[in-house]
Every structure is written in structure tokens, then in C-alpha cells.
Amino acid sequence: MNSRIIIIGQGIAGSLLAYELMKSGRNVMVIDNGYKTSASRIAAGMWNPILFKKLKKSWRADDLLPSLQRTYTELEELLDKKFMYDREIVRLFPSNDSANDFHLAVKDERYSDYLEDKPQPELEAVANDEFGYGTIKGGYIELPVFLPAFRKFLESRDSFLEADFNEKDLEITAFGVIWNGYEAQKIIYANGYKTTESKFWSYLPITRTHGNMLHIKAEDLNLKGVFNNGQWLLNLEDGSYKMGATFEWDLLEPTPSEEGKQKLITKLESGLKKKPELDIIKQHAGIRPTSADHRPIMGFHANHPEIGIFNGMGTKGIMLAPFFARQFSASLTEKSVIEDVVNVNRFRNKTKG
């Protein structure tokens, strides 16, 4: 029996799942159509362990962050490339209440790994910080470096195919699946929001959440780390910035919108004392695959155990994918279980597919 696993999609989800499976000795083939609809290729790649609105840790942060650090460090070594960077996220408080919440949390040992109360003179010089600000320890993965480098690695192992996967060509057999002549024991959909178009997965509550992002230069801004006034401005290693992101639910394809661009610029300006000169290098847009309960979706189809899914990363692919790719891989190679809270079986399939 052929023990190959086909993964559709080389975004964050597909890449990290492929990596974990290969580490466990599995034969993997990743199919991607050249990032045509990739959210990962255009995402800022940040991680942030804190939810601003309620000032609490983001879901499973204490599990996800060690896994994130370990996995991307391993990948930097494997690919011989630098793409993981720590960044301080400086959040402007929108009110006295949120400032008070922060100052209480910073003294709480449950948060001490993530929060800091430290002066940021460069920010004070330019920001409208009426209610003050707080610092959070985060970072980013430079995805335009990581994704192509990982693709090259897959190619060097004969484990990558640039192609458009068409479900019509998928045959289910007694031993697994065959797609375009490639036999496999399992096939796993990690193709982002496009998974919603699959006859096997269209019943899942995955929403398309459109987001615009700007890549800019701003010579008169000297902000390091991440400036956040309700939207973020990320200072990249080369001195340019990424700025985002908008949230739209009626734009169903990843096409940049003029309205989104204006929203981003207006919001940034509202956080600064003086309007900066912005040189827009490029506007990007992507679709976040968002599950109804904002948790990843993984596991195998109830009626077709050879067909799997790794999806639903929403706004937090960078943090979620390393931990849950490891868990998914272990369920296949060590026969451990997928947690109920992320298992695809938590959603009922009322269709026959």
C-alpha cells in the first residue's frame, strides 16, 4: 500500500503540516498553484499573545508560543535562512479603563512573560498617546522568505508539485486515493478559503474574511517594532513597514479595495500627531479562512477517512499552525488523538458528501 500523504496548499498550514509529517518519516507530496489565492503569502506574519480588547491571553498562548519558537527556529536551521524576528508591540490605550487594566495585568505573574511597562520615547514623540501605552512581547515571521524557501526544500525532496488541484480528478479507492496518477493513503485539504468549494467540506462553517494590507515606506516615521492604535504598523528588517489590516465579509475574493486602503491610511493618521508622508510600495489583499468558533479545523471526513482537512486558521495562522500541525501529525504517526475542540467532527455534516 502506498503510504504517501498528499497535502493541497503550501500556505502556513500546508507547509507546517508537511514539515511535521516529514520529520516523522512520512512520504509527503504538497500541491500548490503558485500561491494564487494565498493568504499566507501576503500576511504580515505577526504573533501576539494578548487580546487587546479584553486584555487577556489569546487562546492557548502558553501552549502555542513555545511550539512557535521551537518550530520556526528548527525551520530556520533546516532552510539556512533567517525569517523569525522578535518585535515589541506598543499598544496605544483607547481609554483610562484599558490603561488601568494593563497596569494591573503587568504586575500579575501570569502575564509577566508577555507584558512590559517601559518608556518608548520615540513613540511618545510622534503618537497621540492621550491615555498612555503598554508594551507586549511579540514578533513576526517573514513569510515571503519562509514560504519560497520551504517550497525549495520540498522540491529538493521530490515532494512538491506546482499544479491546480481539481477535485473532479480525485478517485477514492479501496486503499486510499489517486489524483492525476499519484496514489496516496490520504489527501489533506490545506488550501485556505478555497476548501469551502470542496464537495467534501462545503458543509463546514468557514467564513471568508477579506483583509487589505499596505506595504509602505515612511521616511519621516521612526517607529520600531509594532505600533498599534487599533490597527498595526509593523517595522520590517529593511526599514519599510507593513500596515493593516481591514476586515470585510462581503468581499469574497482576494482583490485589494480602494476603500480598504483609505481606511488603513485614515486610521494610522488618527494615531499620530502629524500626518506622515507615505510611499505605498504595494497594496495586498487576502482571505482569512475563519471557522465559526474561531478554532482550527482538522482531522478526517466522517464518511471518507482518506480525506482530511487542516484549516480555519483565521487571523492567527502563525501561532496556531506549529502546535496543531504537530498534533495532527502525531495523530497519524503516533496514533495520539486530535483534541475535540479542533476536531472537524465537532461540526455535523448534514449532507451525504
Ligand X SMILES: Cc1cc2nc3c(=O)[nH]c(=O)nc-3n(C[C@H](O)[C@H](O)[C@H](O)COP(=O)(O)OP(=O)(O)OC[C@H]3O[C@@H](n4cnc5c(N)ncnc54)[C@H](O)[C@@H]3O)c2cc1C
- Of positions 22, 44, 206, 221, contacts ligand X by CB under 6 A: 44
Contact 328, 320 (CB under 8 A): no
- Of positions 67, 71, 159, 191, contacts ligand X by CB under 6 A: 191
3-class secondary-structure state, position 163: coil
Report the greatest alpha carbon distance in the chain: 67
> Is 23 exposed, middle or buried (CB count within 10 Å of its CB: 0-12, 13-18, 19+)?
middle
Euclidean distance between CA atoms 40 and 20, whole angstroms: 18
Q: State which of positions 65-104 bind ligand X (CB under 6 A).
A: none
Instruction: Please choose, out of 4-12, 103-111, 151-159, 177-185, the segment that lies near ligand X by the rule CB under 6 A.
Output: 4-12
Query: Between residues 127 and 287, which has the closer beta carbon with respect to ligand X?
Result: 287
Instruction: Please choose, out of 58-66, 130-138, 257-265, 317-325, the segment that lies near ligand X by the rule CB under 6 A.
Output: 317-325
Q: State which of positions 257-286 bind ligand X (CB under 6 A).
A: 286
Buried b (16+ CB within 10 A) or exposed e, 131-161: ebbbbbbbbbbbbebbbebbbebbeeeebbb
- Of positions 134, 256, 317, 322, contacts ligand X by CB under 6 A: 317
- Selection from 231, 221, 224, 217 nearest residue 262 by Cα: 231
- Of positions 211, 260, 271, 322, contacts ligand X by CB under 6 A: 211
- Of positions 196, 283, 311, 331, contacts ligand X by CB under 6 A: 311
Torsion of CA 293, 294, 295, 297, to 10 degrees: 80
Contact 267, 233 (CB under 8 A): no
Query: Between residues 117 and 167, which has the closer beta carbon with respect to ligand X?
Result: 167
- Closest-approach residue to ligand X (CB): 11
Q: Does 49 bind ligand X (CB under 6 A)?
A: no
- Selection from 232, 241, 255, 238 nearest residue 315 by Cα: 232
Phi-psi region of 9 (alpha: psi -120 to 50; beta: other; left: phi over 0): left
- Of positions 61, 84, 149, 213, contacts ligand X by CB under 6 A: 213
Query: Between residues 49 and 271, which has the closer beta carbon with respect to ligand X?
Result: 49
Q: State which of positions 214-253 bind ligand X (CB under 6 A).
A: 244-245
3-class secondary-structure state, position 8: strand
Euclidean distance between CA atoms 333 and 26, whole angstroms: 8
Number of residues near ligand X (by CB under 6 A): 41
- Of positions 9, 134, 139, 260, contacts ligand X by CB under 6 A: 9
Beta carbon of residue 324, minimum distance to ligand X (angstroms, whole number) = 11
Q: Does 62 bind ligand X (CB under 6 A)?
A: no
The footprint of ligand X (CB under 6 A) covers 8-14, 31-33, 35-40, 43-46, 164-165, 190-192, 194, 211, 213, 244-245, 286, 288-289, 311, 313-319
